[in-house]
Amino acid sequence: MIEIEGVRKSFGKLEVLKGIDLAVDKGEVISIIGASGSGKSTMLYCINALEPIDSGRIVVDGVDVHAGDTDVNKLRRNIGMVFQQWNSFPHLTTLENVALAPRIVLGKSRQESTEIARKQLDHVGLADKFDVYPSRMSGGQQQRLAIARALAMEPSYMLFDEVTSALDPELVGEVLDTLRLLSEEGMTMLVVTHEIGFARDVSDRVAYFHEGVIEELGPPAQVIENSTSEQTRRFLANVR
Amino acid sequence: MDYTFHWRPVFRKLPDLLEAGLVTMEVAVLAMLVGVVLGLALAIIRMSGLKSITWFAVGWIELARNTPALLQLFFFGFGLGAFGIHLSPFLIVLFGLSFNNAGYLAETFRGGFNAVPPTQVKAARSLGMTPTQAYTRIVIPQVMRVVYHPMTNQMVWSVLMSSLAMLVGYRELAGETQFLASKTYRIFEFFLVTAVIYYVMVKLILAGSRLLSWRLFRY
């Protein structure tokens, strides 16, 4: 489980997280919605220690992420992350993209890591692209590759940072379908997204971020359909 | 035109010219290797942002790129000589060319590193890679591809620039040609043949580089 307690974080004078509390249970899918600059993405980066925090605590499966003696490299094996810009490694084939980390981080044999890569690429529907370089693939395919790459580490948690925002509209569906598939398989997911429809259909809970705080948190039926918060309603009216 | 070509003196000395061509390749390759190491160091110093040392890298790069290579060579020859430091012609050429190569390559490398988005490192780290793994597996291979062709150009430039060595008394290809031409007075013939030898050497470098790039970069 992920426990976030009183997390604050500033970039220079700008405070982007002003005391965030959130507990994510195993198997739960939480969508994080909110305007640009509300701190949603920064929150994700803090969970796997890609960004340091100023105060508060983030504990993942009992490990304090930002404690001085925490091995972040070991911690990150358990927390997959997919980015807005998919960041496929352009010098490696899809198979190599996925197989690299299991081999050099987890120390699996070349054969074993290739087997894992095949399985995960098949999982996200890229079984016909093993030996293709990412530059030959569409944004949607590259984003699914990034998902397969993260899954190959067999993480307990997956963080998705606006994974469809940089995609052409016609490619959004295939990536969201992959996220749906993962949620049906019981993956614990934190999904920062502007896809309100997806948030409503797939999430167990929705968190609405507003200026560095969680303005509202609850089941989609509450936050998206029957929000009591003026802020949330105004935001939803604007994105829909 | 009443100039009569006499090729025989040139062809008789062809083995000497080819041997001098090897000397050229030797000093150019050495200067390239030293230039790569120093250039990488300069690029890292410049990118470090540490004010106390960046001035040194910036100064080197500025001088190397914005003054004539010949004057750079003269600095290591006559310049240091004025202070009582007398280097052998070989070392003057090696240092001068290395100085020049390092200045150009530093900017090439800096451009190469800047061309790899920082998010590549983030993605690598998010998979649990250490900083060293992220750099050796993800960043450097991409930098290599960006800098490969500029490096090839610098290698060619290194070969051609080494002909300045004849002005500090080093008997590489141009120096040897000058020496033989002045002994036989067949100046035009000698330099024409030497030009062909330079041309062939450069073409070989370019062909080798292309073959290697097919092998190295398949994406």
The answer to the question of residue A122 being in a domain is yes
Residues 6+ away with beta carbon under 8 Å from B165? B27, B73, B89, B92, B93, B172, B174, B175
CA end-to-end span of chain A: 32
The answer to the question of residue A101 being in a domain is yes
- The type of residue at B208 is G
| Stronger pLDDT, B108 or B169, i.e. the higher one | B108
- The type of residue at B61 is I
Look at residue B38 in the predicted model and tell me its pLDDT: 97
Is residue B217 very low, low, confident or very high in pLDDT (cuts 50, 70, 90)? Answer: confident
Chain A: residue whose CA lies nearest to B125: A73
The answer to the question of residue A223 being in a domain is no
Chain B: residue whose CA lies nearest to A153: B127
**B35, B98 contact by CB (below 8 A):** yes
Q: Do B119 and A90 touch (CB under 8 A)?
A: no
Using a CB-CB cut-off of 8 Å, the residues of chain A touching B130 are 73
Number of independent structural domains in chain A: 1
Tokens in use for B170?
């080093």
Chain A: residue whose CA lies nearest to B144: A91
The yes/no answer to whether this complex scores an ipTM above 0.85 is yes
Quick check: B219 pLDDT over 80? no
Distance CA A130, CA A127 (A): 6
pLDDT tens, B106-163? 999 999 999 999 999 999 999 999 999 999 999 999 999 999 999 999 999 999 999 9
Using a CB-CB cut-off of 8 Å, the residues of chain A touching B119 are 83, 85, 87
**Average pLDDT, whole number, for chain B?**
94
Using a CB-CB cut-off of 8 Å, the residues of chain A touching B122 are 50, 83, 87
Q: Do A91 and B145 touch (CB under 8 A)?
A: yes
Look at residue B156 in the predicted model and tell me its pLDDT: 97
Backbone angles phi, psi at B171, to 5 degrees: -95, 60
Structural domain of A152? 2-218
Homologous superfamily of B8-216:
MetI-like (1.10.3720.10)
CA neighbor of A141 nearest in space, from A189, A193, A177: A177
Look at residue B5 in the predicted model and tell me its pLDDT: 85
Is residue B1 very low, low, confident or very high in pLDDT (cuts 50, 70, 90)? Answer: low
Comparing A51-55, A211-215, A227-231, B118-122, the range with the smallest average pLDDT is A227-231
A87 touches chain B (CB under 8 A): yes
Look at residue B9 in the predicted model and tell me its pLDDT: 85
Quick check: A101 pLDDT over 90? yes
The answer to the question of residue A239 being in a domain is no
Look at residue A140 in the predicted model and tell me its pLDDT: 94
Distance CA A138, CA A141 (A): 5
pLDDT tens, A34-43? 998 899 999 9
Look at residue B74 in the predicted model and tell me its pLDDT: 94
**At A81, which CATH number?**
3.40.50.300
Distance CA B129, CA B134 (A): 6
Quick check: B98 pLDDT over 70? yes
Q: Mean pLDDT, to the nearest integer, of A82-110?
A: 96
Look at residue B6 in the predicted model and tell me its pLDDT: 85
Look at residue B218 in the predicted model and tell me its pLDDT: 78
